[in-house]
Amino acid sequence: MQALTPHVYWAQRHGEIYLRVEISDGQSLSIGVEENILHFKGQGHGAKGENEYEFSLEFLKPVKPEVKHKSTQRQVNITVKKQEHVWWNRLTKQEKKPLFLAPDFDRWLDESDAEMELREKEEKINKINIESRVRKDPFLGLKKGFLFMYNLVQFLGYSWIFVNMTVRLFILGQDSFYDTFHTIADVMYFCQMLAIMEVINPAVGLVKTGVMPAFIQVMGRNFILFVIFGTLEEMQNKPVVFFVFYLWSMIEIFRYPFYMLACIDTEWKLLTWLRYTIWIPLYPLGVLSEAVAVIQSIPIFDETKLLNIPLPKAIGTSLSFSYILQLYLVIMFFGLFINFRHLFKQRSRRFRTKKRKAN
């Protein structure tokens, strides 16, 4: 029986040659490389039925003698490694392509695509190597659980404040402005005392954010809540309390659920956009309302002499706390600049990263 020539399809990468021989149920296969020539011989069902098939290919450049092959019910797959990782212009040494040879378009890549595939493989291997070298934190689950619960509690607290104030505003109208403190203060005290954790968490490495921006925001709010509103009964009935509490809660009902979902590696795109966008108008308005509260409290502190600082008799009787409040106003707007800059950097970094991933 005269041996026939099968159909052969080929493709390449920088380091390998792939051949697909159209013989099903291949048997008695003899495949090897001698003097840079691939010799194939075997029996199976090909284009002309059950026959013996063979062919030879002299490669364009040197290859390694080891040949890998696998026979399936449909074809014989052959892999040959190149001596050098270079791209070949053609497969065979002879310029004219053999009639039985054709490109394997299922695996075909041009040189640029192959380089991209190679880089992706290398990046994946490097990522796996880096991840294997990084020591896993045994307390990671516990830390995420703690942060999830913290953000959940804060979200529930500020949601209660926001909903309560909104409902009262619709029912009572402007009258709700004057008893906001007596209605909301207990929950606000709880949330703001708990917010001290936002300074502790980055300080001990639980979260990767700056300590100073969190310190400025938390301490600034607590100063307004505990010193301005908490110590002066005259301030507790003023409408400014409503605006301060409402603006605080409006920011936090988007911020805390975002962090809560981040603890479980979940993202909601609309919530992400709101978390990094809604503070742009609300944060300056919140600082402005806090400044109004400080300005309104200055004459009250002057009149009551509350929290005045005693001075030596040679200098004077005492230093009015109102001077400290005036200094605090300057610090407040300086802190606004620092936090605004920090938040804008966070926002641009976040959306720049998302855009890069999308591309």
- In what order do the strands lie in the sheet containing 101-103? 63-71, 76-82, 16-21, 8-12, 101-103
Of the residues 22, 158, 290, 328, only one is catalytic, namely: 290
Any residues with CB less than 8 A from the CB of 231 and at least 6 apart, and which? 306, 307
Q: Please tell me the distance from the alpha carbon of residue 296 to that of residue 275, in angstroms, as a whole number.
A: 31
Q: Please tell me the distance from the alpha carbon of residue 87 to that of residue 113, in angstroms, as a whole number.
A: 12
For residue 102, what are its two tokens? 């054709």
290 catalytically annotated? yes
Distances (CA, A) of 29 to 39, 70, 81: 10, 10, 19
Any residues with CB less than 8 A from the CB of 128 and at least 6 apart, and which? none
Amino acid at 156: L
Residue 213 has, within 13 A of its CA and on its CB side, a CA count of: 15
Q: Is residue 57 within 8 Å of residue 103, measured between CB atoms?
A: no
115 catalytically annotated? no
Largest Cα–Cα separation, the chain: 125
* Closest by CA position to 8, among listed 107, 88, 75, 58: 75
Of the residues 52, 283, 303, 323, only one is catalytic, namely: 283
Catalytic amino acids? Answer: 283, 290
